[in-house]
């Protein structure tokens, strides 16, 4: 079938048929192919991007590119001050945030509680001690303050609350976390860590999506948390490292492990450090996206099939003449394959232009704000090329089959228009 002559004649015919076809028809078919491409790539990319948005939140707001945490057998990172000093000597980190992380309880509305038999308005909490300036450089935490103000270094007895602690903003109850009532900026609450209780003022309330790692946390200046924890040393629980752009997280992790830090603490890249299940959710969303995209692919294949079939059947007489004067059926079929290829290639090329020239950069700069994350479009070039290949293959088959059906009809019947 694919002899050089057949391909040359097929190309010769296809080129002229495309060139002299109705521009409206050609534009419409190319538009269908463009929509198919966008359906296949953007829908999947957006679904994956929702989860990528969640993952990205963890990187930006919690783990950074590399996270150092305590070994499973320890509550704190051994030799934390030495590790921090070592990290500061390295050129790769952009910001290093050392944190204390502990659990405790928080109680509100205790002044208005008149009956001691009444259940107190309290809940369990994850409390994080931070250096407000460093943490703001790291996660831009102040940006998320919806009510009140951000912490300052000199603050005393003040906290920032994640939205999950405030019933007005919470996303519903979670195990061990009941939203508190009547909480505003300036409200006093009681914080208890390791049996040490302190009354603190809510300085600010954060506004982040439900899946943000900031949603269910209380932030306090690091020195106060250390006091409440009753710690006398400077051993922190976690050190998050945001690397300079272009730095390889895996290489940096390996560097830290080679330097001996790996023996004192757990060193993980962002991907290794994100909570279990996020990667699986990402894969699941990608599969759903592919399923939706596949339906689009079938629709496009049927469209091309119908277009080529109608084109071929209305040209049946001319196909008969071509065969009659000695043009091989294979060359005629190839001409239709080339036409299908043209529609698919132009549609995909336009789609790629729109995707990488506009959609991906625009949505990256302006993520789509959804209740569960700030979604972006994830469209790696290799995956996109596979989808383009799939569109082209499907289109070629959809173009070949109807042309084959018509070409196989009796030559003279085709010429004379007999059934």
Q: Which residues bind other proteins (CB under 8 A)?
A: 5, 8-9, 12-13, 16-17, 19-21, 317-318, 321-329, 331, 411-412, 415
Neighbours of 326 (CB within 10 A): 6
Question: In this complex, which beta carbon is closest to other proteins, that of residue 16 or of residue 244?
Answer: 16
For 114, counting Cβ atoms within 10 Å of its Cβ (0-12 exposed, 13-18 middle, 19+ buried), the class is exposed
Cα–Cα dist 66/71, whole Å: 15
Residues 6+ positions from 30 with CB-CB distance below 8 Å: 343, 346, 347, 350
Question: In this complex, which beta carbon is closest to other proteins, that of residue 6 or of residue 80?
Answer: 6
Question: In this complex, which beta carbon is closest to other proteins, that of residue 327 or of residue 346?
Answer: 327
Longest dimension (CA), the chain: 103
DSSP for residue 91: S
For 268, counting Cβ atoms within 10 Å of its Cβ (0-12 exposed, 13-18 middle, 19+ buried), the class is middle
Task: Give the Cα-Cα-Cα angle 275, 175, 184 (nearest 5 degrees).
Answer: 100
Question: In this complex, which beta carbon is closest to other proteins, that of residue 5 or of residue 291?
Answer: 5
CB of 337 to other proteins, least distance (A): 17
Question: In this complex, which beta carbon is closest to other proteins, that of residue 5 or of residue 393?
Answer: 5
Neighbours of 283 (CB within 10 A): 12
CB of 348 to other proteins, least distance (A): 25
Question: In this complex, which beta carbon is closest to other proteins, that of residue 238 or of residue 330?
Answer: 330
CB of 412 to other proteins, least distance (A): 5
Question: In this complex, which beta carbon is closest to other proteins, that of residue 290 or of residue 328?
Answer: 328
CB of 371 to other proteins, least distance (A): 54
What does the DSSP assignment read for 197-264?
A: EEEEEEEEEE---TTSTTTTEEEEEHHHHHHHHT--S---SEEEEEEPTT--HHHHHHHHHHTTHHHH
CB of 310 to other proteins, least distance (A): 16
CB of 18 to other proteins, least distance (A): 9
CB of 339 to other proteins, least distance (A): 11
Question: In this complex, which beta carbon is closest to other proteins, that of residue 59 or of residue 323?
Answer: 323
**Rounded (10°) angle between helices 329-354 and 23-58:** 50
CB of 332 to other proteins, least distance (A): 11
């Amino acid at each position: 079938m694919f002899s050089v002559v057949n391909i040359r004649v097929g190309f010769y015919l296809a080129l002229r048929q495309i060139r002299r076809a109705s521009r409206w028809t050609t534009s419409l078919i190319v538009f269908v192919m463009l929509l198919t491409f966008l359906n296949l790539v953007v829908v999947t990319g957006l679904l994956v991007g929702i989860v990528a948005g969640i993952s990205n939140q963890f990187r930006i707001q919690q783990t950074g590119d590399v996270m150092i945490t305590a070994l499973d057998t320890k509550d704190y990172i051994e030799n934390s001050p030495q590790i921090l000093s070592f990290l500061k000597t390295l050129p790769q980190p952009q910001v290093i945030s050392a944190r204390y992380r502990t659990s405790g309880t928080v109680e509100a509305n205790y002044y208005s509680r008149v009956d001691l038999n009444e259940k107190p308005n309290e809940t369990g909490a994850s409390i994080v001690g931070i250096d407000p300036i460093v943490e703001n450089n790291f996660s831009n935490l102040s940006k998320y303050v919806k009510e009140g103000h951000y912490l300052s270094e000199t603050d005393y007895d003040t906290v920032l609350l994640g939205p999950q602690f405030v019933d007005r903003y919470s996303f519903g109850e979670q195990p061990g976390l009941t939203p508190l009532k009547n909480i505003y900026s300036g409200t006093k609450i009681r914080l208890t860590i390791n049996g040490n209780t302190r009354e603190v003022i809510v300085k600010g309330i954060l506004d982040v999506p439900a899946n943000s790692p900031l949603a269910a946390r209380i932030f306090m200046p690091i020195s106060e948390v250390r006091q409440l924890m009753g710690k006398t040393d400077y051993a922190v629980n976690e050190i998050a490292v945001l690397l300079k752009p272009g730095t390889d997280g895996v290489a940096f992790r390996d560097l830290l492990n080679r330097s001996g830090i790996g023996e004192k603490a757990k060193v993980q890249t962002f991907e290794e450090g994100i909570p279990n299940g996020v990667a699986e959710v990402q894969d699941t969303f990608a599969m759903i996206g592919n399923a939706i995209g596949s339906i689009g692919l079938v629709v496009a294949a049927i469209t091309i099939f119908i277009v080529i079939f109608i084109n071929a059947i209305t040209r049946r007489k001319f196909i008969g003449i071509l065969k009659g004067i000695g043009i091989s059926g294979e060359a005629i079929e190839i001409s239709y394959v080339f036409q299908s290829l043209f529609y698919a290639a132009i549609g995909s090329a336009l789609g790629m232009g729109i995707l990488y020239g506009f959609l991906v950069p625009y949505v990256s700069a302006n993520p789509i704000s959804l209740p569960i994350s700030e979604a972006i479009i994830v469209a790696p070039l290799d995956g996109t090329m596979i989808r383009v290949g799939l569109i082209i293959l499907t289109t070629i088959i959809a173009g070949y089959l109807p042309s084959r059906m018509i070409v196989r009809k009796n030559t003279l019947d085709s010429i004379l228009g007999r059934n």
